[in-house]
Amino acid sequence: MVFKISTSNASGIKEYFIQWLEHRVSYKDFFALNSVSFNVFRGEIVGIIGTNGSGKSTLLKIISGALNPTSGRVIVDRKKIQLLTLGTGFDMELSAKENVYLNGAIIGYSREFIDEHYDEIVEFAELGDFMDEKVKNFSSGMVSRLGFAIATAGDAAEILILDEVLSVGDEFFRKKSLKRVKEMIHGGSTVLMVSHAMSTILENCTKAIWIEKGILKMIGDPKVICNVYSCDRGDEK
């Protein structure tokens, strides 16, 4: 996955536009992912690790179909994929109730599905007294709880993609959300998950993939991969 990055040092849009008109704007290639290739088999739980900016979320977006790769291809039945990622698809000027339907539609839920699971979403998010309030008045924790509750409503898909969804809310809600995700993970789905918590990878995954600065470093047993990754970062054991 290659992105074009402008090398312009313009201080604002007006200056950038002037430089563009004068053909003084150039671009450089940024390889978010470079020659990354692997297989995931039915029933596997695959953890993807790497430092911030290594291309993990970009990889998940390509697999789910949210992004098209610059080259290469992904062989997958995207009708079977459910991508769970928090913090996107909310309109801060709308109420929490309106955002349930908006965010649910973005995820791919039908209105009938949301109608059926609405009470469950509200109960899990613990926001029963706030559903008519605008989301802009919510704390970040409340927004995260609502996003998580929407994303995990209903049964898990055959292919479940989790992008850092286990770090939401306070300590009590994190335990509650971890329990919900574990139920989804171990319910028979094929799972790809990004997490910075090595304990989450070790406890749940059957295979681990380490990506660093867009390059595939290692793939294999989670214990081995996490140990090498931690040593590379200089973490204490």
User: 99-138: per-residue pLDDT in tens?
Assistant: 999 988 887 788 999 999 999 999 999 999 999 999 999 9
Phi/psi at 85 (5° precision): -140, 140
pLDDT (tens digit, 9 = 90+) per residue, 130-177? Answer: 999 999 999 878 888 898 888 888 777 889 888 877 666 667 887 888
Domain residues of the chain, as ranges? 1-31, 36-233
Distance of CA 121 to the CA centre of its chain: 20
Q: Under DSSP, is residue 48 helix (H, G, I), strand (E, B) or coil? A: strand
Using alpha carbons, list the distances in angstroms from residue 15 to 11, 19, 21, 33, 95: 6, 6, 10, 31, 38
The C-alpha atoms of residue 159 and residue 82 are separated, in whole angstroms, by 6
Which DSSP category does 154 fall into?
S
* Average pLDDT, integer, range 23-38: 87
For residue 67, give every residue at least 6 positions away whose Cβ sits within 8 Å of its Cβ, in sequence order, or none: 1, 58, 61
3-state DSSP assignment of residue 11: coil
pTM score above 0.85: no
Question: Which amino acid is residue 40, in one-letter code?
Answer: V
CATH architecture of 36-233: 3-Layer(aba) Sandwich (3.40)
**73-85 per-residue burial string, b: 16 or more CB within 10 A, e: under 16:** eeeeeeeebbbbb
